Every structure is written in C-alpha cells, then in structure tokens.
C-alpha cells in the first residue's frame, strides 16, 4: 500500500457539494492499495501511522504521535499514488489494485486505524472528491509497504 501522509491543522473532503468527512488537528491520509496487497499490509501500515512521531512536543521536537495528541485522521482513497511516469507523458496506473480489491483494502485500512484508537473520517471510494486542508508545518511523508 502507498500512502501520502500529511500533518494537518484541519482537513475535509467534499462530494457533490456536501462535506462527507473532516478532521481537525491530525492527519490527512491519501492511500492507494497496490496489486498484491492484502489485509496484513493495511493493518501493519495503520499501526505504523498511529505511532509515527511527527507532532511537536513541548520543546518543539517531532516527538508525539497522532495518538499522543488525541488527533484524528481523514482517510481518502487515491489510486493516482500508483502512477507510473517512466514512459511517455501520460501516467499509467496498472500497478494499483483492481477497484473491488482496492475498496476492500481501503475500508480495512480505515477500520484498522480506528482499531488503533484514532477517530477516523473518510472520503468516498471512487468518487470525484474535493479535498481541502491546512498542512501543518508543512509535514508530508511518503510511505510504501514495499519499501
């Protein structure tokens, strides 16, 4: 699974003019299931993200996790994280999981993050979403279960 993780002051996702998910201080998690991914990758990634120390402590050091600060997460599916730009000018997405499998893993990941104790809001898989955020820092981290 691939993730683009952003530390946010707030984030929201809108579909058809309606806000369907939002979080205040915490994380925006853009996620893509890749071919060959399964529930184990989703659970491992959720556990890692829950404990990742990227929030500032009282000394201004990145020493606290989203759990430590009582933050939330907005989880948004984004198959374009699978983009292959090696050839030509149009990215290919063939390494992304098939839509049915991708949706199952997206939902499994969101539940695994909830099971870690994080308040999770979600986008809508496969929808045309508008994502708004205030990036805090900015802090943006790329994660890949294959790396």
Which active-site residues does the annotation give?
A: 80
Structure tokens at 51: 């404990």
Q: Which 8-state DSSP code applies to residue 33?
A: -
Could you tell me if 49 and 5 are in contact, meaning their C-beta atoms sit under 8 angstroms apart?
yes
Could you tell me if 64 and 57 are in contact, meaning their C-beta atoms sit under 8 angstroms apart?
yes
Q: Where are the alpha helices (DSSP H) in the chain?
A: 39-51, 66-69, 99-115
């Amino acid at each position: 699974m691939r993730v683009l993780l952003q530390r946010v002051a707030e984030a929201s996702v809108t579909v058809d003019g309606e806000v369907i998910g939002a979080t205040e201080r915490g994380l925006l998690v853009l996620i893509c299931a890749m071919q060959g991914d399964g529930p184990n990758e989703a659970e491992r990634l959720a556990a890692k993200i829950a404990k990742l120390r990227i929030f500032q402590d009282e000394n201004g050091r990145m020493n606290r996790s989203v759990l430590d600060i009582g933050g939330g997460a907005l989880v948004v599916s984004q198959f374009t994280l699978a983009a292959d730009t090696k050839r030509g000018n149009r990215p290919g997405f063939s390494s992304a999981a098939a839509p049915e499998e991708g949706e199952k893993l997206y939902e499994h990941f969101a539940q695994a993050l909830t099971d870690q104790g994080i308040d999770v809001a979600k986008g809508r898989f496969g929808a045309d979403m508008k994502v708004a955020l205030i990036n805090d820092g900015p802090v943006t981290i790329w994660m890949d279960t294959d790396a």
